[in-house]
Amino acid sequence: MTTKTTDHDATPEASLSRMAENLKKVEALTERLTQVMSHRQTHQQALDGPNQELFAKASQSYLSEAMQNPAKLMEHQMGYWTKTITHFMEAQQAMSKGDLSAPEDTTSTDDRRFSNPLWKSHPYFNFVKKQYLINAEALKTAVDNVTDMDPREKKRLGYFSQQIIDLMSPTNFLATNPDALERAVETEGESLIKGLENLISDLEANNGELVVKLADETAFELGRNIATTPGKVVYRNKMFELIQYTPSTEKVYKTPLVVFPPWINKFYILDLKAQNSLVKWIVDQGYTLFMVSWVNPDPTYRDVGMEDYVDDGYLAAIREVKAITGEKQVNAIGYCIAGTTLSLTLSLLKQRGDTSIKSATFFTALTDFSDQGEFQPFLTDDFIDGIEAETVDKGVLPSIIMARTFSFLRSNDLVYGPAVKSYMMGETPPAFDLLYWNGDGANLPAKMAMQYLRGLCQGNKLADGGFDLMGHHLELGDIDVPLCAIACETDHIAPWKDCYRGVQMMGSKSKTFIMTQSGHIAGIVNPPSKNKYGHYTNDDLSLDHEAWLKGAKFTEGSWWPRWEAWLKKKSGAQVEARFPGDNDWKILADAPGEYVAKKAKL
C-alpha cells in the first residue's frame, strides 16, 4: 500500500498530534526489529568489504606521493579547501540578503537523486548537495592521483571509494532528503511508519540480512502471469526438471532445441510474459523447444560440483531430448554461466567422439576471464577466501550474497534508490516482472561455487591452458561445432569484448558473433515487436574487438530474427509437430514445473 495524504483536520496542531501518534507506533515495531536482529543469520565479515590491506596500500602510496611531490598534494588540498570555503561564503552571502534564497545553482540535473527542485532553491538542501559533490570530487581526485599502486589494486580502490561516495549521498538520510521529509509531513508521519514496516519485513524475509525488495511479490504468480508458455515437465532428476513446450505450429524443425539457462537465477527470465517471451517466440517459429529448469540447491548439495552439472545436467538433458524426439542430435543454447559450462561440455563431447550437439548458441557467456571487468574487486583472494569460508559453513553460497554483490555494481539504482523509496518514503515496490525475477535467486553448491570462482574466474584455466574435469583436460580449441554468440554492448557482468575474445579461441570453423545494444538482460530479452535495441555484426572474427566494432554493420531492431535464420539452417527439414507425452512418454507436471517455484533456503 502506498502512502496517501490523510483527510483529517489540517490545522497545524492536529497534524502535529497525529504525527506524534504515528511515531508512537515505532515502539510497537521495535519488538519485531529486536526479534529479527537477535536471530540474525550471520555471514563471513570478509564479504562486507576489502580487508584493511587495500586501504593501507592506498595510504602508503598517497604518503609516498606526498613526500616525493608535496606541491601536488598541497595543490589538491588547497583546491578542496578553496571550493569548500567559497561554497560556505556564497551560502552566507545568500542568507545575509534576508530572503533565504539559495545561491545560483548551475549543477547538472542529470543525477536523478537530486531531481527535487528544493535541491536548487532551498538554501539548506542546496548547501548540503553542493558540499557532497565537492567532497565526492575530492575523493575521486585523491584516488585518481594514486600512482605507486598495482593497477588491479587501484581499480579495486576506485570501486570501493565509489561505494563510499554513493553511500554518503544526502539522499540516503532522512534529515537531508527533501522528498522523504515532504512525504513525512504530508502523511503526518505515516510514511515513516510504513517505511519501518517495509524495512523489518525485508529483514524478516532474509534472516536478518538486509536485501532491499525491488518488486511487489504479491503481484506475480508463476504459471499465471509469468512463465506461462504452455508445456509439460517430461523428466526430473536431482539437478533439473526438463520442460517440453507445446507446439504452436503444425510443423516443426526436425532437430530439437534445448536451452540451458544460468542456475544463479531462474529460467523464466526467458519467459516473463507473452509479449517479451523468447520461449514463446521460439515455439512460434516452429521449433521443438526444451528448457532445463535447475534445482535450487540446499546444504545437502554441498559436494555437487561442475562435473555434476555437466554429467547429470547437460548430458542427461541431451540424452532425454534425443530419446523423446528420436533424433541423434540437438541444438543447444547456454546463457551466462550455463554458456561457460556448455563450452566445457562441448570440449568433453569432442574428446569422447560424441556428436550429440549439432550447433551451439552462447548468450553473454564468458570463457576467457583474463579481464575480469567490473567483477575484479570481488575476485581477489580476500573476498574469495570469505566466500569459501561461507560455503564451508553453510554448504552453499547463499543467493543473498550473490544478489547483494550484483546489486552493488549499480548501487544507486538497485540498492540506495529502492531503499529510499521503501524505507523513507513508505512506498510499496513496483509490480515489475523483471525485478521480481531479479529477486528470485538460487543458491550455488559449495563445491561448484569454488570450482567456478577459483578455477575459471580467478585462474582462467579454460582459456589459459585448459580446465581439468571428469578425467579430461578441457580446452576451448576443442569446440568445433557451428556456433553463434550473442553479447551485449553495456553488459557489466559479461563484457562483450571478453565474450568476443573467448569465441575467437574456439576451434569452430563456422562462427557468428552478434553484439546487441543494452545490457546482460535487456539485450537478450529484446523481442522484435518492441523494435527497441539494434545489433552489430561483422563476419571477420580475426580482428581485435575494437577493429571488429569499427568495421561492424549496425542493424535496427532485435537480433532474434537474425539468429533464427542462422538456427534454421542447422535444424533440418520440417516434420509433424511433437507434443509432450507423445509415444506414451510420462508427464510429470505442467510447466513451469516444481523446481522453479522453490525459494532459496539454508
Beta carbons of 251 and 530 less than 8 angstroms apart: no
DSSP 574: E
The dihedrals phi and psi of 461, each to the nearest 5 degrees, come to -70, -30
d(CA 245, CA 276): 16
Which active-site residues does the annotation give? Answer: 336
SS (H, E, C) 335-375: ECHHHHHHHHHHHHHHHHCCCCEEEEEEECCCCCCCCCHHH
- Tell me the sheet residues that pair with 208: none
All cell numbers assigned to 195:
517505511
Strand blocks (E) in 255-315: 257-260, 289-294
Query: What is the Cα Rg of the chain in Å?
Result: 27
Beta carbons of 499 and 489 less than 8 angstroms apart: no
Longest dimension (CA), the chain: 88
Cell 526438471 belongs to residue:
241
Read off the amino acid at residue 309.
Y
Q: Whose CA is closest to 414, among 158, 211, 142?
A: 211
Q: How do strand 574-576 and strand 251-253 relate by DSSP bridges? A: antiparallel
Q: Whose CA is closest to 514, among 475, 479, 542, 483?
A: 483
- Tell me the sheet residues that pair with 334: 260, 362
Cell 518514503 belongs to residue:
425
12-38 and 190-205 helices, crossing angle to 10°: 10
State which H helix or E strand residue 434 sits in.
Answer: helix 433-438
Beta carbons of 567 and 573 less than 8 angstroms apart: no
Secondary structure of residue 463 in the 3-state scheme: coil
DSSP 180: H
The dihedrals phi and psi of 262, each to the nearest 5 degrees, come to -65, 145
Secondary structure of residue 515 in the 3-state scheme: strand
Length of the chain: 602
- Tell me the sheet residues that pair with 396: 445
